[in-house]
Structure 1
């Protein structure tokens, strides 16, 4: 039986940070562990800003590249992907539709947990226009159901 793909997108960038206040580092590939996060990232090491929080726990964050382009155009700003402190930058589909849904990147299986809004930590690191521009489009927090390795250019699908 063939797999029926309803939608698909692409990974355009990957980022990790060793600790909450460390700069995000771009990587070409990342190893993900179910129930833990991305190897080398602050949440995998349990030293991220939201580590230990009981609120809708997640192990990895996503954000759409289209959100960056929109916020840049609306506010005449230049925003680096790393500024939003999300792990996986995507293109080609709406993350908002993935809350409570499973999706794949390669062999890695994720479950969307909750939409992420800009937080006070982001406000400290950027400017007000950036934070306001990303309200309701700051990404998705997800759990890793089955781990694997993902790479820039990998296809994302349901």
Structure 2
């Protein structure tokens, strides 16, 4: 039985980083542009890495493994939701605020986390580092917005993921960039 709409996870934090290795800044809301990502974030305009989403519940699990706090800002993920794990199946979709997202891949923890959070942080976040999404429908997302994973069939999600990869590869080839794997 699905959870009632009032019991959905909510966005607890939004972080944007203007550039690589530059400090993230917490914001109350952000604008997501379809096909481009979050305005003001270092990945805005990238081919497919538009928004990263993580779970506060999984951050708590990582902190328990690490034996130290794992702050939402320390992971450099864009959105943190209040609970549950985040959908990871490529092609699956989720809605957060006005924004429709599609899973690209699992977000792998970076070794930089060991410098930023503490030794062992990347290992503690293994399988808990969230998901990378592309923005299909843009809009505003704000702290307090509901995060809802949309029902899907695995074969349908796989077809969407393949079509998205093909479109991204074609766009990359047209612009002279290396195609996606």
In the TM superposition, structure 1's runs of 4+ consecutive aligned residues that sit over 4 Å from their partners are none
Tell me the equivalent position of 1:88: 79
Tell me the equivalent position of 2:33: 33
Structure 1 spans left out of the alignment, 5+ residues: none
Q: Is the 8 A contact 1:14 1:87 kept in 2?
A: yes
Is residue 79 of structure 1 aligned with residue 70 of structure 2? yes
Structure 2 spans left out of the alignment, 5+ residues: 151-181
Deviation by residue 1:92-117 (Cα, 9 ceiling, x = unmatched): 33214453211111221000111111
Distance 1:79 1:152, change over 3 A: same
Find the aligned partners of 1:25 and 1:113 in 2 and give their Cα distance.
24
Tell me the equivalent position of 1:103: 94
Q: Is the 8 A contact 1:31 1:147 kept in 2?
A: yes
Deviation by residue 1:58-80 (Cα, 9 ceiling, x = unmatched): 21101110111112223320222
Deviation by residue 1:125-145 (Cα, 9 ceiling, x = unmatched): 333321110001111000000
Q: Which structure's relative contact order is higher, taking Cα pairs within 8 Å and 6+ residues apart?
A: 1
- TM-score if structure 1 supplies the norm length? 0.82
Tell me the equivalent position of 2:60: 69
Q: Highest Rg: 1 or 2?
A: 2
Q: Is the 8 A contact 2:90 2:104 kept in 1?
A: yes
Tell me the equivalent position of 1:11: 11
The DSSP-based 3-state class of the residue aligned with 2:123 is helix
